[in-house]
């Protein structure tokens, strides 16, 4: 049952995919493709939990995987898509720094995370790698939030951070109690909805989704 997971490096592939989708955010030029990258990231996250559930045989992890797919893989992307259509913003991402520099910085971030966590002895085995990747995803999400101009892309950065956090918690505790996971997911869902409404309001008030405009006072 578990042989194919180890024989074909399934967990390694999924975690490499998680990292790659996060790094690819720095290279993508259209907001729609950023949402797609987030969707892929969430599906990979869910499949990682599913595979680990298969390995450990813990039933509550199946539930966690299912909830992750439903909320992060389906509901949030749909909602983000609706916001983007509703705001009728231009489709360019418009980062503060160009994508060559931001790709390099994200590579450096990953290197820093890998080297600084290589001596983390408190967990062993494949979960150590998962922890490293989760912290890397978290930092890349933060980096995206810092360097993006538009409200929606900042929300996507926040969501990446949340995916990273979820994964980090998961790798440290090998699955939190279902009620906590439910609470966190519900929190995120609400957070995204509120942020989405904010973004639409910003767009309506300032006639732009550019967060730099929020510096100026309006009487």
Partner 1 sequence: MEYLQFILIIILSPLINGVIRKLKAQMQGRPGPGLFQSYFDLIRLFKKDMRISNTTSWIFGAAPYILFTSTIVAAMIVPVITTVSPFSVMGDIIAIIYIFALGRFFMALAGLDAGTAFGGEGSSREMTVAILVEPMLMLSIFTAAISAGSTNIAMLASISGPIYTPSHILALSAFIIAIIAETGRIPVDNPDTHLELTMIHEGMVLEYSGKYLALMEWAHYMKQMLLFTLAVDIFFPAGIINNTEPAALAMSFGIYLLKMFSIAFFMAIIESSRAKMRFFQLPSLLEGGFVLAFLSLLTYIMTGR
Q: Give the residue with the Cβ less far from partner 1, 101 or 197.
A: 101
Distance of CA 99 to the CA centre of its chain: 19
- State yes or no: residue 97 binds partner 1 (CB under 8 A): no
- State yes or no: residue 171 binds partner 1 (CB under 8 A): no
- State yes or no: residue 114 binds partner 1 (CB under 8 A): yes
Specify the DSSP class assigned to residue 150. Answer: B
Q: Which of 41, 132, 147, 163 binds partner 1 (CB under 8 A)?
A: 132
Minimum separation from the CB atom of position 7 to partner 1 (A): 8
- State yes or no: residue 111 binds partner 1 (CB under 8 A): yes
In this structure, is the dihedral angle defined by the CA atoms of residues 192, 167, 37 and 102, taken in order, positive or negative? Answer: positive
Q: How far apart are CA 133 and CA 111, in angstroms?
A: 11
C-alpha distances in angstroms, 102 versus 96, 97, 98, 143, 146?
9, 7, 6, 9, 11
Q: Give the residue with the Cβ less far from partner 1, 76 or 133.
A: 133
- State yes or no: residue 12 binds partner 1 (CB under 8 A): yes
- State yes or no: residue 103 binds partner 1 (CB under 8 A): yes
Sequence-distant (6+) residues with CB within 8 A of 169 are: 176
SS3 content of the chain, % helix, strand, coil (to 5): 80, 5, 20
Helices 31-56 and 151-173 pack at an angle, to 10 degrees, of 10
Stretch that binds partner 1, among 8-16, 49-57, 180-188, 192-200 (CB under 8 A): 8-16
First to last CA, the chain: 66
Residue 191 near residue 100, CB atoms below 8 Å: no
- State yes or no: residue 96 binds partner 1 (CB under 8 A): no
Considering only residues 27-86, where is the footprint of partner 1 by CB under 8 A? 27
- State yes or no: residue 174 binds partner 1 (CB under 8 A): no
- State yes or no: residue 107 binds partner 1 (CB under 8 A): yes
Stretch that binds partner 1, among 12-20, 68-76, 156-164, 210-218 (CB under 8 A): 12-20
Q: Which residues bind partner 1 (CB under 8 A)?
A: 7-9, 12-13, 15-16, 19-20, 23, 27, 98-100, 103-104, 106-107, 110-111, 114, 118, 129, 132
């Amino acid at each position: 049952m578990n042989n194919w997971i180890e024989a074909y490096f399934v967990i390694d592939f999924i975690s490499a995919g998680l990292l790659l989708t996060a790094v690819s955010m720095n290279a993508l030029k259209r907001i729609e493709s950023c949402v797609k990258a987030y969707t892929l990231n969430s599906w990979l996250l869910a499949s990682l939990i599913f595979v680990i559930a298969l390995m450990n045989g813990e039933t509550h992890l199946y539930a966690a995987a299912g909830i992750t797919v439903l909320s992060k893989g389906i509901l949030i992307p749909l909602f983000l898509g609706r916001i983007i259509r509703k705001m009728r913003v231009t489709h360019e991402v418009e980062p503060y720094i160009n994508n060559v520099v931001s790709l390099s910085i994200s590579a450096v971030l990953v290197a820093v995370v890998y080297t600084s966590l290589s001596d983390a002895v408190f967990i062993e085995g494949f979960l150590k790698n998962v922890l490293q990747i989760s912290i890397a995803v978290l930092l890349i999400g933060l980096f995206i939030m810092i360097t993006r101009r538009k409200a929606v892309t900042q929300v996507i950065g926040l969501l990446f951070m949340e995916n990273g956090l979820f994964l980090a918690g998961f790798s440290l505790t090998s699955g939190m109690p279902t009620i906590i996971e439910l609470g966190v997911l519900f929190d995120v869902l609400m957070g995204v909805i509120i942020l989405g409404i904010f973004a639409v309001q910003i767009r309506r008030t300032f006639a732009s989704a550019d967060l730099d405009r929020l510096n100026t006072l309006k009487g």
